[in-house]
Amino acid sequence: MIAEAAELIAIVDEGRPLIDLRNTLVHSSIVAGGRVRPSDKARSDMTVTPEQLTQLADAIFTWKERLSATRQLRLMPALQRMDHNGT
């Protein structure tokens, strides 16, 4: 595996907890006081504040930008070099 692909995979793996939390929140009921009742009954209730939601949105945006930049600026050029070199 080329280093650039491994780097991209590592960034994807770093984002998994963010996406898991996002999915839990999106598919849950958020009721008064920021209580979150997950639709998956195996998960326990939790509390979320508006600030935490903002921090999550910022973290997901930053992660998405890192992922996109790595793909565009590192992985794609590496794949093109491989294609031109016949490897």
CA distance 83 to 87: 6
CA distance 22 to 54: 11
In tens, the pLDDT along 32-53 reads 889 999 888 888 999 999 999 9
pTM over 0.75: yes
**In the chain, what's the furthest Cα-to-Cα distance?**
60
* Structural domain contains residue 15: yes
* Structural domain contains residue 11: yes
For the chain, residues with pLDDT lower than 50 are: none
CA distance 3 to 57: 29
CA distance 28 to 55: 18
* Structural domain contains residue 86: no
* Structural domain contains residue 10: yes
Q: Looking at the 3D structure of the chain, how many domains does it have? A: 1
- Domain span at 73: 3-81
* Structural domain contains residue 7: yes
* Structural domain contains residue 44: yes
* Structural domain contains residue 8: yes
* Structural domain contains residue 87: no
Reported residue count of the chain is: 87
